[in-house]
Amino acid sequence: MLIEIDDKIISTEIFSKKFVCDLSACKGACCIEGDGGAPLKLEEVTQIEKHFEAIKPFMEVKGIEAVEKNGVYYLDAEKEPATNLVNNKECAFVYFDSSKTAKCSIEKAFREGVIPFNKPISCHLYPIRVKEFDDYKALNFEEWKICEPACACGSKLDVPVYRFLKEPLIRAFGERFYEELQIVESELNY
């Protein structure tokens, strides 16, 4: 089922599906698997390029080398920018913590206060994927096998996708939009 809020068409799966990232189980696999880099907005490309030197200390050497050789992004099959990859696999901006969990160097730089922006919104909103059309944006839940632990954790804790993603949803679309989602959830009775 779909609902409409302003210029957004939203799959009700963001209310019915449960989700809480379980990094201890997946080890950040979404940053190292898949068929391409993270989708980027043009303004994100500009910000990353502008602040690359501040992000570098948080990156792996192979990621730095990939960006210095190939740039911050490449154009994907749809001619949209996406983060460059290391060996056509992991995002160039991945670093691994002491438990070998993949994490985002852009987010780390932001949390440390050295850059003024967080990781790409496509990453922050995951598992919600946003597709932009001329007159509207479509928000859909993307189901991926590597996120089964997150779905299990979300079910155990009874946390719908949209509630888990409160911060990025507000970042992307504002407080009022999130309040509208809360109203919709109460009306859907999931």
Strand-pair category, 137-141 with 8-11: parallel
Tens digit of each residue's pLDDT (9 = 90 or more) over 80-139: 999 999 988 899 999 999 999 999 999 999 999 999 999 999 999 999 999 989 999 999
pTM for this model (two decimals): 0.90
Asked whether residue 189 carries a pLDDT value surpassing 80, the answer given is no
CA distance 153 to 81: 32
Tens digit of each residue's pLDDT (9 = 90 or more) over 2-34: 999 999 999 999 999 999 999 989 998 888 987
Instruction: Provide the strand spans (E) within the chain.
Output: 2-5, 8-11, 73-75, 81-83, 85-86, 90-91, 94-96, 102-104, 128-132, 137-141
Domain ranges of the chain: 1-19+127-190, 35-117
94-98 own/partner pairs: CB under 8 Å, 24+ apart: 94/28, 94/31, 94/32, 94/60, 94/63, 95/58, 95/59, 95/60, 95/63, 96/60
Share of the chain above pLDDT 90, in %: 85
Tens digit of each residue's pLDDT (9 = 90 or more) over 171-185: 999 999 999 999 999
Q: What is the mean pLDDT of residues 46-72?
A: 96
CA 181 centroid distance within chain: 19
